[in-house]
């Protein structure tokens, strides 16, 4: 004779909409929040976040609005003595501060597609 057990109560598997996933993913890096912090806050595993991130990257979905270029100011002198390895010695690098606190430095004449790729990598790292 085979014994069967019937579980009653609330379903444990939750379903997340794409909007909910994007909202949760956008919390990573805000005010220093780590993947672990965000996962704990939403009672999910870190693996969920990594899986969702990969899924969104494969679908080419970016949290929030599409990336766009903003006006910038050129300082008379660089803010610090750091150098940009990718920039020729006679060119001043462009520095872009991202919402997650990271900084992207690149040559002023870097092609747009390479700059966008660098920004996406820095935002998703």
Q: DSSP string spanning 4-59?
A: -----SS-S-----HHHHHHHHHTTTGGG--HHHHHHHTT--HHHHHHHHHHHHHT
The mean pLDDT of the chain is: 77
For residue 37, name the pLDDT band (cuts at 50, 70, 90): very high
pTM comes to 0.43
Mean pLDDT of the region 6-22: 77
Among the ranges given (10-24, 38-52, 54-68, 77-91), the one the predictor scored with the smallest mean pLDDT: 77-91
**Domain edges within the chain:** 18-58, 93-124
**Residue 115 DSSP SS3:** helix
Q: Are 94 and 109 in contact (CB under 8 A)?
A: no
Query: Measured between alpha carbons, how far is 80 from 58 in angstroms, rounded to an integer?
Result: 37
Q: Which of 1-5, 9-13, 29-33, 55-59 has the lowest mean pLDDT?
A: 9-13
Distant-in-sequence, close-in-space partners of 94: CB < 8 Å, separation ≥ 6? 72, 105, 106, 107, 108, 110
- Strand pairing report for 93-97 and 103-107: antiparallel
- Residue 54: what pLDDT? 87
């Amino acid at each position: 004779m085979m014994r069967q057990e019937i579980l009653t109560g609330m379903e444990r598997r939750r379903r997340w909409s794409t909007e909910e996933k994007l909202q949760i993913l956008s919390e990573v890096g805000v005010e220093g929040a780590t993947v672990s912090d965000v996962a704990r806050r939403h009672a999910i595993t870190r693996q969920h976040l990594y899986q969702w991130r990969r899924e969104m990257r494969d679908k080419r979905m970016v949290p929030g609005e599409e990336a766009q270029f903003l006006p910038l100011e050129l300082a008379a002198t660089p803010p610090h003595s750091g150098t940009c390895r990718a920039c020729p010695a006679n060119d001043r690098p462009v520095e872009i501060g991202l919402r997650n606190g990271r900084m992207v430095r690149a040559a002023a004449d870097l092609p747009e597609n390479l700059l966008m790729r660098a920004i996406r990598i820095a935002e998703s790292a």
